[in-house]
Amino acid sequence: MRTRKATLLLVLLLAVSLIAAACGGGGGNDGAPRETDKVVVGVYGGAWETQIREAALDRFAADTGINVEVVAGADAEWFAKVRAADGKNPPYDLLILQPDTIQRLMAADLLQAIDPEQVPNLADLFPSIQQRFTKDGRQYAAGFSMGQLGIAYRKDLIPFEPKRWLDLWDERLKGRVAVSSPSYAAGLQFFAGLTHALGGELANEADVERTFEKLAELKDHAAAFPDNPGAIQTLLERGEVWAVPFWDGRVFALQQSGLTTVDFVYPEDGPVAAVASWAIMKGSPNLANAYKLLDYLSSPEVHRKFSDLSLYGMSNKNVEYSDELKGKVQVGEEFYSKLIWVDYEVATPKLSDWTNRFTQVLGGGQ
């Protein structure tokens, strides 16, 4: 009888132990993240993947011995897979994401609140950026690449230097402006920038209506409606358009490649934030390594290396920028605190309607 009771007690203790381990969310016996031998990180493909490998991922793997599995993709695909996992063994540990995807994942409780003790470099990221990813006093993403939407223009063709979004309506630019529809990231950001320039907010329907009325006045000025960076580059190279909303780093890259007739201005009425940030997925199976990699990616050294390659400003306040970027890129709390941010909570559900209206008032678009 005693032997049978002892056996039952042992089985019960083992079951309790297994349940406790399953509820631990990747933690060890002391509550700390469980050590593993790899980390899975999702990054954008093409040049972005090449740049982040060179700036950080390859060196991190070599220095730590951790197997870094890099998965190239984009926000929509990642969001669907993370949502399907529902916080249980997601296919990625760490992802580079846009603000709207971060907001959606935060709302769905699918992001790991960042433990600042595990990521000391988090303290050196600009507060105006980090507050965008903070809920109930906890941060859910770490700002990284600080793209800003402004005006790219052909300085050899345009008869004046644009300084504001509303300068695109100047009569001297008739038939020489390109604008993207809200279905493209740059187009939605321009829509938000224009709404702000007119003194409005995306959350106010009357302000959005005024934005469309202003866009209708641009019909005779608009020559093209590009929906990708390659199309914008081609339009600028050929001189088919003289001004177009575009990102600062993209323009600096064009200049570096030899297209010195293209210049860039941060509009006085507000450049628009185009920020890429890192976030750890809830239920990350390699949480300890995800924290290690996140801290490494948030360091000023990595930010500097990525900036050198991408020609964008960064989120770490201790970055020492290259001579090429100094005097070009606007960085620092003075500028970042004044950035216009797209209100994605308002914009995302209305994106299809806004895109259709854009097409109607300008006669172009998708």
pLDDT in tens, 211-237: 999 999 999 999 999 999 999 999 999
**Residue 33 pLDDT more than 80?**
no
pLDDT recorded at residue 32: 59
Query: Looking at domain 148-271+340-362, what is its CATH homologous superfamily?
Result: Periplasmic binding protein-like II (3.40.190.10)
pLDDT recorded at residue 327: 86
**Listed residue (359, 340, 361) closest to 182, CA to CA:** 359
From residue 208, how far is each of 31, 103, 180, 348, 365 by CA, in Å?
Answer: 49, 22, 17, 14, 18
**Residue 180 pLDDT more than 50?**
yes
pLDDT recorded at residue 7: 44
Over pLDDT 90: what percentage of the chain?
88
User: In b/e form, how buried is each residue of 205-225, taking b as 16+ CB within 10 angstroms?
Assistant: eeebebbbebbeebeebbbbb
pLDDT tens per residue across span 158-168: 999 999 999 99
Choose between 27 and 321: higher pLDDT. Answer: 321
CA separation for the pair 42, 34 (Å, rounded): 21
pLDDT recorded at residue 150: 98
Per-residue tokens: 321: 């920028």
pLDDT recorded at residue 18: 37
Please state the φ and ψ torsions of residue 119, each to the nearest 5 degrees. -130, 75
**Residue 9 pLDDT more than 90?**
no
Task: Please name the fold of domain 33-140+274-329.
Answer: D-Maltodextrin-Binding Protein; domain 2 (3.40.190)
Identical fold for domains 33-140+274-329 and 148-271+340-362, yes or no, is yes
**Average confidence (pLDDT) over 93-109:** 96
CA separation for the pair 303, 300 (Å, rounded): 5
CA separation for the pair 151, 158 (Å, rounded): 12
Residue 19: Cβ-neighbour burial (10 angstroms; 0-12, 13-18, 19+): exposed
Please state the φ and ψ torsions of residue 150, each to the nearest 5 degrees. -140, -150
Average pLDDT, rounded, for the chain: 91
pLDDT tens per residue across span 103-128: 999 999 999 999 999 999 999 999 99
Cβ atoms of 27 and 34 within 8 Å: the answer is yes
Q: How confident is the model at residue 363 (pLDDT cuts 50, 70, 90)?
A: confident
pLDDT recorded at residue 6: 45
Per-residue tokens: 336: 């970042």
Domain ranges of the chain: 33-140+274-329, 148-271+340-362
